[in-house]
Structure 1
Amino acid sequence: MKIKYSKKRLYSGFFLGGLFALFALLRLIDDPENPWLYFLQLFLGLFVVAASLYEKHFQYLLIENGFLTKNTLRRKSFQLDKIERIQSFPGKIKLFTSEENLNINTELLEDDSRNDLLRVLGSLEIDNNPFIGYSPKTS
């Protein structure tokens, strides 16, 4: 199961990166005297667009075969049954194992994906699990 980024996050990355690159390209055409700064700006804008494409393709989290994987530039995987403790904060969840921890920013998630994640975390048999019996609010 993929836990997806919100559409707002994905599209804002495409828009801002594209806008940044477009302004750099226009400045390069208009003022070719000192192009290094504009090349840097163009590179950074294209980097933001590429990062948004990466996020759109891989999404935020992947829950599969008993593993939870956070898809960042440096992927991090946890075995779900090795999670010992869960802490919940507004907009953030921290998962702990004996060796390491994982932070999940829930404000970046699509609503349905957030509900799926909380349901999976609630199904784990952990002492003081804040999500036991989680069921999303329906309006």
Structure 2
Amino acid sequence: MKIRYSKTRLFSNLLLGSLFTLWGTVKWLEGSASYFGYFQLLLGILMVGNFFFERHNQYLKIENGFLTKHSLRKKSLKLEEVVQIKSFPGKIKIFTSEENLSINTGIIDEDSIKDLYPVLGSLKLHQKENPFLGWSQTNS
């Protein structure tokens, strides 16, 4: 199961990246590009590249008992090793005995977050350690 980025995040990155790339390219072709113009061009190319990376990989993947967060440094947790989950406004922190994973809920698509909560609620933890315990599709 893929937990997707919100469309707003994806397409704002594409729009801003395209504008930066276009502006930097125009300055470069005019011959009036300074370091700032080259920086804009580079930043635009990186933002457009980030759009394609995020659109292809999406934010989280839950597969074969692992929760994987896709970013520059991919991070995975085995769901059965989770010992505690903390929920904060706009953020979920998942802890194992060795590491933790932070999830920014503000950038997740609304339909995908409704898929994430039941998965987190199904983990066998004490009620004190799992604020999503008992969460089901009917809660969404």
Moved over 4 A (4+): none
The percentage of counterpart residues that share the same residue type is 50
Q: Which moved more, 1:113-122 or 1:19-28?
A: 19-28
Q: Which amino acid aligns with 2:81?
A: K
Q: CA deviation at 1:6?
A: 0.5
Structure 1: which 5+ runs fail to align? Answer: none
Structure 2 distance, partners of 1:67, 1:135, is 20
Q: 1:36 to 1:112 in 2, by over 3 A?
A: same
Q: Which amino acid aligns with 1:108?
A: I
Report the count of equivalent residues: 137
Q: Could you tell me which residue of structure 2 aligns to residue 74 of structure 1?
A: 73
Secondary structure at 1:126's aligned position in 2?
coil
Structure 1 distance, partners of 2:81, 2:89, is 24
Deviations 1:11-70 (A, max 9, x none): 00000010011111112223x155443222101110011011100000000000000000
Q: Which amino acid aligns with 2:17?
A: G
Q: CA deviation at 1:113?
A: 0.6
Query: Are 1:87 and 2:110 matched, yes or no?
Result: no
Structure 2 distance, partners of 1:83, 1:95, is 7
Q: Could you tell me which residue of structure 1 aligns to residue 37 of structure 2?
A: 38
Structure 2: which 5+ runs fail to align? Answer: none
Q: Could you tell me which residue of structure 2 aligns to residue 98 of structure 1?
A: 97
Q: Could you tell me which residue of structure 2 aligns to residue 8 of structure 1?
A: 8
Q: TM-score, normalised by structure 2?
A: 0.92
Q: CA deviation at 1:132?
A: 1.0
Q: Which amino acid aligns with 2:79?
A: L
Aligned Cα root-mean-square deviation (Å)? 1.3
Deviations 1:60-117 (A, max 9, x none): 0000000000000100000000000000001100000111110000110111110111
**What does residue range 51-70 of structure 1 map to in structure 2 within 5 Å?**
51-70=50-69
Q: CA deviation at 1:135?
A: 3.2
Q: Could you tell me which residue of structure 1 aligns to residue 134 of structure 2?
A: 133
Structure 1 distance, partners of 2:117, 2:33, is 52
